[in-house]
A and B are shown apart, each in its own frame.
Chain A
């Protein structure tokens, strides 16, 4: 009798398990943002279906001009044609470290690894009094820079899509379409107090992937 009850419970659990998994795995891409601030004991998590992100990006008038294009233009000191040419040349090189800056305050590294462009910025922890002030939050400039670590991973295809526009415009629509295919981390920022993570997956919750 006890065995048959256990078997029944087991079968019930097995039948419920796929349904529970299906509830989390929506088949739709979700953009997740998680911000944790240890000092304030505050946690913020945002989960947005990429369709909503797409709607926002398509229609934000201040940033994105009509037809889903970002205007970079010459006001930023770089012509879009130059950026495209440089990117084409870099794409031809394959895996390489494009930029390495080793400074007193931070190290910057921009490299291509497979289909990903990695931007790593490591702010060195300040020594002595400055570091102490940064930790205590006395100096606003120093605050958050002691031991800050930024990891940005951009898929090559995303840059390709963005640069597929014409003239001085970046093609935002194509970039968003490419972003819809992306799964995994996009940005990670970590310092001694806070931790920010932005990623895309197909879960409507942060519970399994966000931890």
Chain B
């Protein structure tokens, strides 16, 4: 009886630990009567671990943006993202065309991009602090450790939602 408890308990505890640390879920639903549904859960801790060890296993130049022109604008991007994060919520951009409407809103500490067309609807959430951490430093180095740390703060967020006809793809962090 005790053996059975250990056999069942260890994987359950492991699953609970992974779930408590966060899981990125990719959910693909194909439309139609014979459409498949594919759900891929990826433990967030795996992505964080990969980012954390990336500097040790990847050549330094691969984790660096060499383009000086791009680097000149990183400061501007950082200031804009910081200003946006501190700004009140609101609709930032709306483009209305006969076929398509694009709306970018700031909600909390995220930018939400919503594109709605006659056939497809796309929603992308960009957590601002994640975008901030994804920016390279002044020497062009991508700060993978900071990015790994920022990932834990995107939990319980819908990152991508694409509705194309009857097909539906959703990526969220649980």
Judged by a CB distance under 8 angstroms, whether B94 is at the interface is yes
Judged by a CB distance under 8 angstroms, whether A55 is at the interface is yes
CB distance from A68 to the nearest CB of B (A): 12
B91 touches A58 (CB 8 A): no
**Of A36-44, A69-77, A121-129, A145-153, the one with at least 4 CB within 8 A of chain B:** A36-44
CB contacts (< 8 Å) of B16 on chain A: these are none
A56 touches B76 (CB 8 A): yes
CB distance from B103 to the nearest CB of A (A): 10
Judged by a CB distance under 8 angstroms, whether B40 is at the interface is no
**Complex Cα spacing A88 to B16, Å:** 73
**Complex Cα spacing A95 to B48, Å:** 65
Convert A109-126 into 0s and 1s, putting 1 for each residue whose CB lies closer than 8 angstroms to a CB of B: 000000000000000000
Which of B75, B83, B86 has the most A CB atoms < 10 Å from its CB?
B83
Convert B85-116 into 0s and 1s, putting 1 for each residue whose CB lies closer than 8 angstroms to a CB of A: 01111111111111000000000000000000
A/B interface sample: 17 pairs, CB < 8 A: A26-B90, A28-B87, A45-B93, A47-B92, A47-B93, A49-B84, A49-B88, A49-B90, A52-B84, A52-B87, A55-B76, A55-B79, A56-B76, A56-B79, A59-B80, A204-B90, A204-B91
CB contacts (< 8 Å) of B89 on chain A: these are 204
Number of residues from A at the complex interface, CB < 8 A = 26
Known pairs A44-B96, A49-B88 / 7 extra A-B pairs, C-beta < 8 Å: A41-B98, A44-B93, A44-B94, A49-B84, A51-B83, A52-B80, A59-B75
CB distance from A66 to the nearest CB of B (A): 12
Partner of B90, one of A30, A44, A58, A60: A30
Partner of B95, one of A27, A44, A61, A205: A44
Interface residues of B (CB under 8 A from A): 72, 75-76, 79-80, 82-84, 86-98
**Complex Cα spacing A205 to B169, Å:** 30
CB contacts (< 8 Å) of A43 on chain B: these are 94-96
**Complex Cα spacing A41 to B95, Å:** 11
Given contacts A41-B98, A43-B96, contact A51 B76 (CB under 8 A): no
Interface residues of A (CB under 8 A from B): 26-28, 30, 40-49, 51-52, 54-56, 58-61, 204-206
CB distance from A211 to the nearest CB of B (A): 14
CB distance from A38 to the nearest CB of B (A): 12
CB contacts (< 8 Å) of B97 on chain A: these are 40-42
B94 touches A51 (CB 8 A): no
A60 touches B80 (CB 8 A): no
B95 touches A49 (CB 8 A): no
**Complex Cα spacing A43 to B90, Å:** 18
CB distance from B75 to the nearest CB of A (A): 6
Partner of B91, one of A51, A55, A60, A205: A205
**Complex Cα spacing A26 to B90, Å:** 9
B93 touches A60 (CB 8 A): no
Partner of A61, one of B72, B92, B93: B72
A204 touches B88 (CB 8 A): yes
B79 touches A59 (CB 8 A): yes
CB contacts (< 8 Å) of A204 on chain B: these are 88-91
CB contacts (< 8 Å) of A30 on chain B: these are 90
Partner of A205, one of B72, B76, B82, B90: B90
**Complex Cα spacing A44 to B86, Å:** 24
